[in-house]
Structure 1
Amino acid sequence: MARAGTLIESVMSDIESKIASRAYLPNTRLPSVRAQAKAMNVSISTVVEAYDRLVAEGRIVSRPGAGFYTSGPIAPLNLNQIGPKVAREIDPLWVSRESLEARAGALMPGCGWLPSEWLYQTGIKRALRSLARTDSPDLTEYASPKGSQTFRHFLQRRLLNQTIDVTPDQIMLTESGTHAIDLIGRFLLSPGDTVLVDDPCYFNFHALLKAHRVQIVGVPYTPNGPDLEQFAHALETHNPRLYLTNSGIHNPTGAQLTPSVAHKLLTLAKASELVIVEDDIFADLESTRSPRLAAFDGLDQVIEIGSFSKTVSASVRCGYIAARLEWIEQLVDLKIATSFSGNRLDSEIVLQTLTDSGYRKHMDKLQTWLAKQRRQTTEKLTRLGIQPWIQPKDGMFLWCQLPDGVNATQLARDCLTQDVVLAPGNVFSQSQNAHDFLRFNVAQCTEPKIFEVLAWALKQQI
């Protein structure tokens, strides 16, 4: 319940927000009246009245001689109540909703996916026709716990081509890359654990980790990978359980990990027993393969995940986890407990599309289209005074710095009034130090109106 107005209501709101965010669980002892008054810089009588009102409402209980305690069942999980309040334009959940629910005709240079016409629809249609003509159990039956053996053999060959040594039994299919991370979080994390992420990183990593009620620590990202000095400091200071990253095409920067940084990073990880989750969702957009931590590590402390929503279909969902055999066996049990079975039909459609003779040719064309669009978008943005942080070799993203004095959140707010959806930098930044950055998806930047609206919005601040 949001309260505003008097100091008494401010104290009540503070307690209620901590209950809603699960910072205060049932039967948690509240700060003493004196401690709460000091923390909020209010009088003791103000806190006494606030606590008495909360007792009257049944939110807390008074135990004579012992203090005040929270009451009732645990609050339903409300992700918006976890962490500091931020403007909606840099709230990961709001940005995702705005992109997914955008009005017809809205332009979305800030979204993270390709236009549907850039995807390999021919292969999807061919797979659907093939399945519709058969009496295949893929149409109606549950999937096996690890998922299609044929698909897992295909993924084994695919990963071996990336020098990741893996057997089919070390691979489990999931509903998506997000599903894969969620299962790993359930498997390895407990509330209060620390997870390292790149700063900046894919904004839904922030939202998903909040749901696991962990502490998130950002490590500055460089054009060659994470800042190793800061990474080592975070290991020593926070003793994290996981590090979550893209080491192929990095989201949002478009950077690619270098071999020297990869080796040093793994040396640090092994010394601290850190588990690394490597999200390889953009693998098929790479023209030149960058290093994979899983290849150097041999799936000892690295878990490799991926999906095909960026290159096959966001509607037909399928992902995977590749990890130690004993971890996969336990993850299978967790998958059965939480979703019972995977989507057999979706995985077969994706497999047939990936193995279609035209898929590789389409990816080659897509890489060429993206390279052209990166150049053209860079030129248009540069004319507006918006400068790419680096010029990526591959992928769809440009991480761009705005002219001096321009705030990305306000720019996004202004552009939204003209039906142009942007992705301001702080939605990706745990430290909130990217207030003058935007992520642009070059595949979504083909409409001249985008740059006309940007030019107009920039003039509002300059």
Structure 2
Amino acid sequence: MKDTTQAEAGTLVERVMQAIQQRISGRTLAAGARLPSIRGLAETLRVSKSTVVEAYDRLAAEGVIQSRRGSGFYVTSHLPPLSLTELGPLLDRAVDPFWVSRQSLDAADDTLKAGCGWLPGSWLPETGIRRALRTAARADVAMLADYATSLGLPALRHLLARRMAERGIEAAPDQIMLTESGTQAIDLLCRFLLEPGDTVLVDDPCYFNFLALLRAHRVKIVSVPYTPAGSDVTLFAQALAEHRPRLYITNSALHNPTGATLSPVVAHRLLKLADQAGLTIIEDDIFGDFEHEPSPRLAAFDGLDRVVHIGSFSKSLSAAMRCGFIAARHDWIEGLVDLKIGTSFSSGRLSSELVLSVLKDGAYRKHMEGVRERLSRSMGPVSARLDALGIKPWIEPRGGMFLWCALPAGIDAADVARRALVENVVLAPGNAFSVAQSASRFLRFNVAQCGDPRVFRVLERAMRG
């Protein structure tokens, strides 16, 4: 019994050490930063104070951290290279922006992904994708073997320009650059616009991968509360005055994770504030095709002056066909093309051809009409099942797949998510989306992934503890 207890204690110490090393590797704890207090870290990781003391002592012995008498423990001045792969979650660590992504991507086939951010494969246009693949198989060898042009497939850029025009965004094909994904689009824009130490505004809550990507660029992240009509304009103005950010990243159509829709009034006020402050806005439109009625686009009001419009097709078409885009002012495109060549050389030609083939097929519009109707039919029953458990939606979304929901008072979403994961259900706890860590009672649900009644049985047990 004694040996087992010692082994368990040793494992806990190693886990605490790993959690600290991951934060240091990911620059969440920078060189010279003060580590959490022994009591504070013990409470966060749910271990004893003696376990944290031993972990800190071992890290100090390895030269990773140093003790300052009467002040605490600090990260040493020398840091290892940035390692995002070491930021993966442990089940007993604080939930971070990688938690939901890693659990969803690595889940076994029998895992229920109620918190993930994409549609089930059975909801996607399999017939259209297979038809596009057959067409590609018969195409000229250049489609299968050659690099794409520097801006990307011209025919797809022309089609994207027409699609954007339907939403009031005037973008010529030579103002559009194709990327591997929406994430790569943001990464390239961060490389183009930011320096380490710059400040970036995000919504609170916001899509958690915005946070992970911004941390990789070593910038300061400041959040502004999000309302059912968009960012809180008063607090947005205060953040501009206090922090002087260079960039603001947001969704306009069907905000992730809340499902809210930007109002025209808020859109105009945000653009006026951005113009006064010299602020650039990245508008992620990845959920645009999920809207029943088009909501305001900042890029339409702005004319691609201060707003950069991005998107991809991983949510509506296929995550396996990696293809995104950037629409920006003419004088930025050349620099962005150079960055793309320097970091990835070219976007995927085959993926672009497949996306073009599906989009220009009239079946895609019918497919999205069916998806919107199916999501609408799913929203009510899922909301009712959650309500029966005392889980209340923040708003009733006008479309899309997400419900942003509050748990009953006194229940922590991260605890619920950890317990649900043991029963092979992936949930999305609110603080993974929140810079201010103000969403501990919230969970994001994907109604398309909640069709199996086991989700609610596991959720009920996880809430009981």
The interval holding the TM-score normalised by the smaller chain is 0.7 to 0.9
**Structure 1 residue 80: Cα displacement:** 8.2
Q: Hey, what does 1:332 align to over in structure 2?
A: 337
What is the Cα deviation at residue 336 of structure 1?
Answer: 0.4
In the other structure, the counterpart of 2:441 is 436
1:161 aligned residue: 166
Please identify the structure whose Cα radius of gyration is greater: 1
Alignment pair present for 1:356 and 2:361: yes
CA deviation after TM superposition for structure 1 residue 318, in Å: 0.1
**Contact (CA 8 Å) 2:28, 2:215: kept in 1 or not?**
no
Q: Which of the residues 81, 85, 88 maps onto 1:76?
A: 81
State the secondary structure of the residue aligned to 2:305.
coil
- The alignment status of 1:187 with 2:186, answered yes or no, reads no
Per-residue deviation, residues 245-280 of structure 1 (Å, max 9, x unmatched): 001010000000000000001000000010000000
Aligned to 1:410: 415
Q: What percentage of residue pairs aligned between the two structures are identical?
A: 57
Tell me, in whole angstroms, the C-alpha distance in 1 between the residues paired with 2:345 and 2:311.
Answer: 20
Separation in 1, partners of 2:262, 2:27:
37
Which of 340, 344, 351 is matched with 1:346 structurally? 351
Once the two structures are superposed, what CA deviation does each residue of 1:335-388 show, in whole Å capped at 9, x if it has no partner?
A: 000011110000100111111121101111110000000111111111111110
Query: For the residues of structure 2 that align with 1:172 and 1:197, how far apart are their CA atoms?
Result: 24
- The answer to whether residue 180 in structure 2 is matched with residue 208 in structure 1 is no
Q: Which residue of structure 2 lines up, in the alignment, with residue 390 of structure 1?
A: 395
User: What residue in structure 2 maps to residue 148 of structure 1?
Assistant: 153
- For the pair 1:296 / 2:304, whether they are aligned, the reply is no
**CA displacement at 1:17 relative to structure 2:** 8.4
Q: Deviations over 1:8-29 (max 9, x none)?
A: xxxx99998897456999xx8x
Task: Report Cα offsets for 1:18-70 as digits up to 9, x if no partner.
Answer: 97456999xx8x79xxxx99x999xxxxxxxxxxx999977799xxxxxxx96
User: Which one of the candidate residues 256, 269, 276 is aligned to 1:264?
Assistant: 269
Give the SS at the match of 1:90: coil
Amino acid at match of 1:425: G
Quick check: 1:228 aligned with 2:222?
no
Determine if contact 2:26/2:215 at 8 Å carries over to the other structure: no
Q: 1:261 to 1:86 in 2, by over 3 A?
A: farther
1:135 to partner: Cα distance: 2.1
Query: 2:128, 2:370 → 1: CA distance?
Result: 15
Structure 1 CA distance, aligned partners of 2:65 and 2:257? 44
Residue 95 (structure 2) aligns with = 90
Q: State the distance in 2 between where 1:391 and 1:22 align.
A: 37
Is the 1:392–1:398 Cα contact (8 Å) retained in structure 2? Answer: yes
Contact 1:199 1:429 survives alignment (8 Å): yes
Separation in structure 2 between the aligned mates of residue 329 and residue 161 of structure 1, nearest angstrom = 26
Per the alignment, do residues 214 and 379 of structure 1 end up closer, same or farther by CA in structure 2, a change over 3 Å counting?
same
Distance in 1 of aligned mates of 2:356 and 2:94: 37
**Residue number in structure 1 paired with 2:316:** 311
Secondary structure (helix, strand or coil) at the match of 2:98 reads helix
Amino acid in structure 1 at the alignment position of 2:105: L
Q: Alpha-carbon deviation of 1:458?
A: 2.2
Which among 297, 319, 327 is matched to residue 322 of structure 1?
A: 327
Indicate yes or no: 2:453 matched with 1:448.
Answer: yes
Q: Secondary structure at the match of 1:172?
A: strand
1:267 is aligned with what amino acid? K
Q: Residue 459 of structure 1: CA displacement?
A: 2.6
CA RMSD of aligned residues (A): 3.2
Equivalents in 1 of 2:322, 2:410: separation in Å? 41
Alignment match, 1:426? 431
Q: Is the 8 A contact 2:27 2:215 kept in 1?
A: no
Partner in structure 2 of residue 44 of structure 1: none
- In structure 2, the gaps of 5 or more residues are 1-8, 11-16, 40-57, 67-74
For the 8 Å contact 1:390–1:399, the answer to whether it is kept is yes
Q: Deviations over 1:380-422 (max 9, x none)?
A: 1111111100000100000001112111111111111111110
Partner of 1:138: 143
Distance in 1, matches of 2:60 and 2:115, equals 46
Aligned partner of 1:255: which letter?
Answer: A
Contact 1:89 1:413 in 2 (8 A): no
Q: Kindly tell me: are residues 55 and 99 of structure 1, through their superposed partners in 2, closer, same or farther at Cα, counting changes over 3 Å? A: closer
**SS of equivalent to 1:91:** coil
| C-alpha deviation, 1:144, in angstroms | 0.4
User: TM-score if structure 1 supplies the norm length?
Assistant: 0.85
- Deviation string, structure 1 residues 156-191 (Cα, Å, up to 9, x no partner): 101111110111110000000000000001101111
Give deviations 1:398-454, integer Å, cap 9, x for gaps. Answer: 000111211111111111111111001111111111111100000000001111111
TM-score normalized with structure 2 length: 0.85
Distance 2:60 2:400 in 1: 56
Question: How many angstroms apart in 1 are the aligned matches of 2:408 and 2:441?
Answer: 8
Distance 1:198 1:131, change over 3 A: same
- Per the alignment, residue 113 of structure 1 pairs with 118
SS at match of 1:146: coil
Deviates more, 1:227-236 or 1:136-145: 136-145
CA distance in 1, matches of 2:422, 2:24: 35
Q: Distance in 2 between matches of 1:15 and 1:100?
A: 24
Q: Which amino acid aligns with 2:333?
A: I
Are residues 1:247 and 2:252 paired? yes
Which letter maps to 1:256? T
The 8 Å contact of residues 22 and 75 in structure 1, kept in 2 or not, is answered as no
Matches of 2:21 and 2:258, distance apart in 1: 38
1:138 Cα offset (Å)? 1.1
Give, in whole Å, the separation in 1 of the partners of 2:350 and 2:249.
Answer: 29
- Relative distance call for 1:314 and 1:450 in structure 2 (3 A) is same
Task: Give the distance between the partners of 2:21 and 2:363, measured in 1 at CA.
Answer: 57
Q: In the TM superposition, what is the alpha-carbon distance from 1:79 to its structure 2 partner?
A: 4.3
Q: Find the aligned partners of 2:450 and 2:152 in 1 and give their Cα distance.
A: 37
Q: Deviation at 1:94?
A: 2.6
User: Letter of the aligned partner of 2:457 in structure 1?
Assistant: E
